[in-house]
Structure 1
Amino acid sequence: MSPAHAAPESRSSRVGAFVRTNLPLILVGAVLVVAVVFLAWDRWRRGAVIIGGAALLAAAFRLLLSTEQVGLLAVRSKRFDVSWLTVLGTAIIVLAATVNTLGVG
């Protein structure tokens, strides 16, 4: 059968292909959504720690996966992306853990 006569791709298979292709980005985005929920509940410290964790998760994906597999998490070279995501994630977590709350939870 020629490609012109191939059956149209179903919507669920297109969604499945999109999810498989962008899974690292989707997982990092899901963690960020959880962080925003904590921030909306006025739990800024937990939200900030989760945001830092999302940056570290993105760094781990960038380190362990190929550029094709990591998709839009690849911005510059692997060394640059991993270094800056690690520095950023660690800094956010350290700041969230050490900021004096001044009586605010």
Structure 2
Amino acid sequence: MKGPRSRGSQIYLVQLLVVLVGLGMVVAGPWRGGVAVVGSAFILGAVSRSVVPVSHTGMLRVRGKFFDMLWMTLLGVALIVLALVIPDQPGR
């Protein structure tokens, strides 16, 4: 089986794996850490989108560069803030 050819597709695959690890953490119990890992994966994707040349973006490119970076950054920051600000539930 061949791996992804473009650098962006390789980064996308790593980002997907990090999201899966974060979701696994959410299911296993430490949900705050898992949500923060997922948020960090999106911020990593945004940073990667800013440095990978357009000819190598592959699956990392959805729309324009600015839109991709803005959307992934906002989503990543929102998830991390969500993990930090939700208060603990009584009895847990």
TM norm. shorter chain > 0.5: yes
Whole-Å Cα distance in 2 between the matches of residues 58 and 68 of structure 1? 16
Scaled by the length of structure 2, the TM-score of the pair is: 0.86
CA-CA distance at 1:82 after TM superposition: 0.4
Equivalent position of 1:101 in the other structure: 88
Equivalent position of 2:24 in the other structure: 37
CA-CA distance at 1:90 after TM superposition: 0.5
What SS is found at the alignment partner of 1:29? helix
Output the amino acid matched with 2:50. L
**Does 1:19 pair with 2:4?**
yes
Q: Which runs of 4+ in 1 moved over 2 A?
A: 18-22
Scaled by the length of structure 1, the TM-score of the pair is: 0.76
Distance 1:27 1:103, change over 3 A: same
CA-CA distance at 1:70 after TM superposition: 2.2
Whole-Å Cα distance in 1 between the matches of residues 91 and 37 of structure 2? 19
CA-CA distance at 1:67 after TM superposition: 2.4
CA-CA distance at 1:104 after TM superposition: 6.1
User: Which residue, 27, 43, 68 being the options, matches 1:56?
Assistant: 43
**Count of aligned residue pairs for this structure pair:** 90
CA-CA distance at 1:47 after TM superposition: 0.8
Whole-Å Cα distance in 2 between the matches of residues 45 and 19 of structure 1? 31
User: Which residue, 62, 66, 85 being the options, matches 1:75?
Assistant: 62
Quick one: percent identity of the two aligned structures? 30
Whole-Å Cα distance in 1 between the matches of residues 75 and 48 of structure 2? 15
CA-CA distance at 1:68 after TM superposition: 2.8
CA RMSD of aligned residues (A): 1.6
Output the amino acid matched with 1:19. P
Which runs of 5 or more residues in structure 1 are unaligned? 1-10
Which runs of 5 or more residues in structure 2 are unaligned? none
